[in-house]
Structure 1
Amino acid sequence: MSQLFDAIADLPLAVDATERTRRDRDTSSDFVRTTTTFHLSGEGTTGRGEDVTYDTEDHDALADAPPLDLAGEYTFASFSTHLDDIDLFPTKPPERETARPYRRWAIESAALDLALRQNGRSLADVLDRELSSVRFVVSTRLGDPPTTDRIESILDAYPDAEFKLDPTPAWTDDVVDAVAATEAVRILDLKGLYEGTEVDTDPDPGLYRRLLSTFPEAVFEDPALTPETRPLFDGAEGQVSWDYPITGVESVEARPFEPAWLNIKPSRFGTVRSLFATIEWAAAHDVTLYGGGQFELGVGRDHIQLLASLFYPDGPNDVAPGGYNDPEVAGGLPTSPLTAPENSVGLSWE
């Protein structure tokens, strides 16, 4: 049982109507990001949640679908159970199965936002937790061929910025040394566990060895542990974090060794129950958590910032304000740490 989930399970909510809006935006990673926001309305208020499914085709198909019929009176727990029987991809199966929990999370987070608002509560209030200022890192790539131009431009504007970077075999020794010289890198995402995506990165023992020796204090996310690479992490297991495979407690327990770090991306879990159970498991096992982002364009970014504020505010959270993902980073963006929100109601970062 999850004490965190129990605290929200009996919140009543009433849904009268469901609507959707779509956003598209260029990113610094050279692709157009598309997301869909679900709006659940009832009793004169609205809760929102963002579907961060990566394939634009899935959002195109959703645009042609009728609104989901979710009208009714529920508790939050019964609403979640009701979703078990709803086809969230009514016009075609998703391009990738990972999209199913993403859309489920969008609707569940919208329902939780609505339930809190209808009851005049905030998540911090219901869970009896304090909101804290949130440390964040800026996630970016170095281009092809890789250069340090982007991180240098960000550091020129924001000298205290910290980074989460995606090393690739194209990183030369000079690039590795130049990145290390910034002393601003906190996470190196090796992306060794992705399959069938544009960011799949084959394990490179030489690169892994070079990075481990050059960044002795960095967190290494999602290494592919092969007979050639696994020995490189002997004694460095405490620097390894997991992201892509983490969808709940069972997925954590299936890791090759008990983790010291986990990247918590709420949409990967699909349900609030699974997310909360994993957060509690991590606390019981002294695992350090930090939040992860997925190029959210709307309320999804607010939600991951709020969860970071409640559960892992001091981690190297990949929850930077969306402006840091723009192709050209503007001045005047909020800097780390983000000031704790008032959050008087719902899941908003206010």
Structure 2
Amino acid sequence: MAVFSEIYDEGDYKVFVIRGAIEARIPMNFYTQLKRKYSDEEIVSMQEPKVLRHHHTKRELVYVTRESGLPLIGHTAFGLIDRGTNLIQVRPVSGCNLNCIFCSVDEGVSKSRRTDFIVDTDYLVDEFKKVAEIKGDDVEAHIDGQGEPFIYPYMVELLKKLREVPQVKVISVQTNGMLLDAEKIKEMEGLLDRINLSISALDDRKARMLAGTNLYDVGHVKDVARAIASSEIDLLLAPVWVPGFNDEEIPRIIEFGLEIGAGKRWPPLGIQNYVRYQFGKKVRGRPMKFAEFFRRLEEYEKQYGLKLRLSPADFNIHKAPSLPKAFRKGERLRLKLVAPGRVFGEMLAVERGRVIGVLTDKPVGAAVPAEITRTTDNVYVATTK
């Protein structure tokens, strides 16, 4: 059943909005006729299915609710990921407002991504509680995703509800900072413990080049960093070191973090080495080998007197009970395709309370024989070949 956050007139149309996503746009004269016989919810349910579009990426947007029948365990694009530790990844939305040239999931202007997802807040939190109950009493809810989490329009609502989960001791989020400001940061005090802020250059020209868009404003992001550092929320600066592009920016970012007081409770910096991924964006030149990366971090550690080679223990991340796997690798099934997948050549299927990414060119509604090829971290992939 539809739950409307807004119903309003738009010229000659009546517009129905379901929790921020336009579901139906009905001519007023037709609406007037229908209203004599049906309620608003019945009117919307009578309409032909509408294609929702992501505000930033313009891709098709799948709205994942309990009624949609899509489980929240099994895929990396949305829902929850349990990697066998006390940290649970929470992914309420996909898609990004930037176009970073080093993006590991090819976000922004993308050749591989075909679909975006947004998850109903209550559904997400209810399923999170089930995973948290098996973890112990020191759970970290880490809000991240394939893109920018603050695109999610119900972030504060999500934070409030996660904070009420008894097992949750830490809530953190990954962000590029462009959608934040001092007012929003103030609103999240007492709800959010740490913000991991992606900032890979302080020089304006280089920052825009790395972000892949002239809309990126590093001055604004620096102001956001200062506002976080001066708030009750901890700040971790998380640059991606892309060899040949921002080598000289790394020490500048370290000095900026120390200057503004990042890292009150956790490390102030989490420098990441650029890695080429199968579906990620590729930059020219060779990635830095990890032996070289760690050697150079060690040099900066000596120079600045702080720890830069981080481990899960620096964030109190440790092993914890995990969800039992629903499938075994190599298992053969017959799966019904229920929704488009995240990338071209992928569809989604549902089986045993899990969502499965099926590599196929068959359409929604088709039933295909498939073999499970991935079960790691309760993320499931199947192939029909």
Q: TM-score under structure 1 normalisation?
A: 0.35
Higher helix share: 1
Larger RCO: Structure 1 or Structure 2 (Cα < 8 Å, ≥ 6 residues apart)?
1
Higher strand share: 2
Q: TM-score under structure 2 normalisation?
A: 0.32
The structure that has the greater radius of gyration is 2
